[in-house]
Amino acid sequence: MDDTNGVVDSSEDESSDSDCEVWRIYRGKEPLSAFLEINRPSIVSIKDASWISVWSHKQDDEEQDDEEQDDEEQDDEEQDEEEKDDEEHRSVRANDGKQQPDEAEKQTDEEREEKVQNLVQEGGEEDKGQIVELEKQNKQQERQEHEPRDIDTEQSKSKKQEGELKDTTELPRWLLYMIMRKEWRDLLKNKHDKMVTSETLKELALKYNYTSGKWMIFASSKHIDDIWFTIAKAVVAGKLGMTTKVSTKNPPKKSHVICVYTENFTNKDDVRRVEKGLRDLGFYGKMSYKADIYTILGIYVNNDFGIAPTIFKSEAVKVTRDMRYGTREETGNTKGREVHHVDCKSYDGKESLDLFLEGNKPSQINGRDALWISVSNTHQDSPFCRDMLVKIEDEWKELQKKRGIKLFGAQLLRDLAYKYGYMSGKWMIFTSRYEVDDLWFSVAKAVIAGSLGNEAKVSTKKPNEEHVIFVYTKDFTDEPDVRRVERSLRNAGIRTWMSYKPDIYTSLGISAKNALGISPTIFTSKTVHYRSQHRY
């Protein structure tokens, strides 16, 4: 088990052990938070439901707009069709009713219907169960999937000629499943004629429009609720894939699986986009991506074909202490701590600032509940940038191999920050638990008033540790702005020693006594001493 986010390194698939396959699906009729609270995967038993699922409502809204446009186009088409039918009827009457229905076409339809029934009868219990499940979920699937399409391979062309397949756009989902299963069984019977490979599965998926796939995240029961809540909210907001689901409690298993879906596993860019979205949410553990057709056709570990059960992998990201909490000199911490998913209490403007500050004093909020308390005068993301973190780290590793790195390290870091747009930095103010509340109140009010930087945050209570306040600026290379914030902090009553550090230094572990000899801060501000007549 990887300690990071409670993610379990497992090779299990997302198949369920339940026979009932009951789902609890969020339909948007209640607040998402209420649905999630009632349907916690750590509490819901597999006897009551196998999966809990949410859909991207952003995509639903777009599809509803498309449907309304399609309805308008359909009305126009129907009107044209009525006019055309009227003309045909007139023509038939003019020719004394000589035009007759095409008997050959009618006979072909009857033959096809008979073959469909044969397909259903040939299917085993597994197929019948799948048909029931497909019919139960048909409404949701129709909203999320593109119209099925047929790939004009030589095999599909010959089948069309034989009348076995008609245009797949006219076939229901369950019937496509049955026909695909039959073709798969035929391949297994004659596997010596054609080697079954991953490319074979890809052709089947494209042919029958089973192109969906999912990133799989395994997590322990202890952490599953927090992880699921975060992913579910992101999916509903349209920030990840089209849908996601999580397995329910199934003793004696102590882990759950979350599947985050994309529409097309052949669309590598979209698959990687969702991977990046999950990393941005703070999930650093190992993940793997599996096409749904692999699950449907039973392609698991150690299958007879030697096909890898997953088509994309995302190795665990090495989570440095700086990524979690900042460097040691920034937090005053000397010991590691458990990862928290809710790591920051942020002021959202829904209540007065005074009320928020009184209810969230850093001297009283325990570090187990939240690592930080923050305020911001913008609606932008946090200055800590995860988007390009992996690329920045890789490039920095390569730069460190070059000669002269100790002489030009600071300039190279500056160039790297500029290249990736990672320009933010912060003034760091260290204080004791006896003074932190007053200092934080002054800083927070100045930030909201717009007289400091764009954001500030303060660390919460931890045994035997100091507190640190960060006051951010947008660009560490803009010295006039950095110094302006310094003066504003002094005017707000902050007299203690302060130092300024670029965020890229924090992310790359540029701490005191680093091997390259780079100074961990780029600006300092000495302590301002009171004179008795001024103080009193």
pLDDT tier for residue 381 given thresholds of 50, 70 and 90:
very low
Same domain, 399 and 516: yes
**What average pLDDT does the chain have?**
76
- Is 490 contained in some domain? yes
Lowest average pLDDT, out of 17-26, 179-188, 517-526, goes to 17-26
- Is 5 contained in some domain? no
pLDDT surpassing 70 at residue 332: no
**pLDDT value, residue 75:** 60
**pLDDT value, residue 211:** 93
Phi-psi region of 97 (alpha: psi -120 to 50; beta: other; left: phi over 0): left
Same domain, 487 and 411: yes
- Is 449 contained in some domain? yes
Query: How far, in Å, CA of 129 to CA of 135, rounded?
Result: 10
| 252 preceded by a cis bond (ω within 30 of 0) | yes
Lowest average pLDDT, out of 163-177, 218-232, 262-276, goes to 163-177
Average pLDDT over residues 84-110: 51
- Is 75 contained in some domain? no
- Is 186 contained in some domain? no
Please name every residue paired with 430 in a beta bridge, in sequence order, or none if there are none.
Answer: 468
Same domain, 268 and 379: no
**pLDDT value, residue 158:** 45
pLDDT surpassing 80 at residue 79: no
**pLDDT value, residue 154:** 45
Same domain, 348 and 302: no
Residues 6+ away with beta carbon under 8 Å from 417? 423, 476, 502, 504
pLDDT surpassing 60 at residue 120: no
In order of 13, 286, 295, 304, 395, the CA distances from 301 in angstroms are 9, 17, 11, 9, 35
- Is 407 contained in some domain? yes
pLDDT surpassing 90 at residue 468: yes
In order of 49, 245, 260, 379, 496, the CA distances from 16 in angstroms are 10, 12, 16, 41, 58
- Map residue 187 onto helix, strand or coil: helix
Instruction: Tell me the CATH number at 515.
Output: 3.30.760.10
pLDDT tier for residue 152 given thresholds of 50, 70 and 90:
very low
**pLDDT value, residue 425:** 94
- In single-letter form, the type of residue at position 19 comes to D
pLDDT tier for residue 342 given thresholds of 50, 70 and 90:
very low
- Is 18 contained in some domain? no
pLDDT tier for residue 344 given thresholds of 50, 70 and 90:
confident
pLDDT tier for residue 150 given thresholds of 50, 70 and 90:
very low
pLDDT tier for residue 85 given thresholds of 50, 70 and 90:
low
HSE-CB of 171 using CA atoms within 13 angstroms: 23
Same domain, 359 and 482: yes
pLDDT tier for residue 40 given thresholds of 50, 70 and 90:
very high
**pLDDT value, residue 86:** 58
**pLDDT value, residue 418:** 87
pLDDT surpassing 80 at residue 328: no
**What is the secondary structure of 457-504 as a DSSP string?**
EEE-B-TT--EEEEEEES-TT-HHHHHHHHHHHHHTT--S-EEEEEHH
Average pLDDT over residues 129-134: 54
Same domain, 311 and 346: no
Q: Look up the domain containing 294 and give its range.
A: 23-56+193-315
Lowest average pLDDT, out of 329-333, 395-399, 439-443, goes to 329-333
C-alpha 534: how far from chain center:
55
Same domain, 355 and 310: no
DSSP element (H, E) containing 277: helix 268-280
pLDDT digits (tens, 9 = 90+) for 250-306: 888 888 999 999 999 999 999 999 999 998 887 777 899 999 999 999 998 888 888
Same domain, 496 and 353: yes
Same domain, 203 and 239: yes
Lowest average pLDDT, out of 9-18, 175-184, 520-529, goes to 9-18
Report which listed range, 161-165, 366-370, 433-437, is most confident. Answer: 433-437
- Is 327 contained in some domain? no
Within 10 Å of residue 53's Cβ, how many Cβ atoms?
Answer: 20
Lowest average pLDDT, out of 219-223, 321-325, 492-496, goes to 321-325
CB of 265 closer than 8 Å to CB of 309? no
**pLDDT value, residue 173:** 77
More confident site: 327 or 120:
120
**pLDDT value, residue 128:** 52
Average pLDDT over residues 36-45: 92
Residues 6+ away with beta carbon under 8 Å from 297? 184, 201, 204
**pLDDT value, residue 405:** 77
Same domain, 296 and 197: yes
Please name every residue paired with 55 in a beta bridge, in sequence order, or none if there are none.
Answer: 243
Which parts of 3-137 fold into alpha helices (H)? Answer: 32-38, 57-94, 103-122, 125-136
Same domain, 203 and 303: yes
Same domain, 413 and 450: yes
Within 10 Å of residue 386's Cβ, how many Cβ atoms?
Answer: 16
More confident site: 336 or 279:
279
Within 10 Å of residue 8's Cβ, how many Cβ atoms?
Answer: 20
**pLDDT value, residue 127:** 56
Query: What is the number of domains present in the chain?
Result: 2
**pLDDT value, residue 514:** 86
pLDDT digits (tens, 9 = 90+) for 489-529: 998 888 889 999 999 999 888 988 888 889 999 999 987 66
